[in-house]
Structure formats: structure tokens, C-alpha cells
Structure 1
């Protein structure tokens, strides 16, 4: 139920507002139905096997290690 608190909207303005509300409600319902990733997929992800890149520590010689090849 939509209640107009202030103003005097035209039927076209009410129809536009109702269309926006219905579109957002249907988008939220569609997003809630999409299943998430399978937890077992994380173990088989090849990106998980790549070791994390070492980041240089701040200091006077940090510029030397700012580019380490992988």
C-alpha cells in the first residue's frame, strides 16, 4: 500500500513511483534466489596455490625491493 503524505501527485507520477518500487522489489527477490559459490570450489581454485607476493617493508632501501618479479 502506498500512501501519499504530502503534495498532489498526478496519476503518471504515481505510476512512475510504483514502477520504480516494483522493479527494485523484483531485483531484490532475484538477487536473493541466486545461490552462492560452493565452499568446495575454494580448495580447487588454482589462484589459491600461487603464493602471495612479498611486499617491501618501509625503510631507507625499500626502493630496491619495490619491484620483485613473481
Structure 2
């Protein structure tokens, strides 16, 4: 296996040498818009400090060591 086998082929190849940069840019824009039509943007993870579940009060631990455990992080 040579290093030439690992080279990726381009996704778009301009065959017409008379194509202007504007025409190539227009084609790339159209193809990129078609390729992302059904895919949702990845959602950014919500930071823990702004999670609404932090506002919900939990019950304190009961039993032996419950008072000490109430001060520990959840």
C-alpha cells in the first residue's frame, strides 16, 4: 500500500476551464446547502450552573450520617 492510495479524491472537480471563480463559488454554495438540508445543527451541552433542575429541592438524606451528608455536593 503506497501513500498514493491514502489520498482522498476531491468532492467537486471543475471540468470546464472557462469557469469563473464566482460560478464555482455559486456551485459550491448550492451543493453545500443541499448536503445539509435534513441535518439539525448539533446542540451545545447546557452548563450545569444554568440547568433548571438545580432549582428543584431534593430531600435530605436521613439516617446515620445524614446531617453530614447534607453538606456534601450532590
TM normalised by structure 1 equals 0.37
TM normalised by structure 2 equals 0.35
Higher helix share: 1
Asked which structure has the greater CA Rg, the reply is 2
- Larger relative contact order, structure 1 or 2 (CA cutoff 8 Å, min sep 6): 1
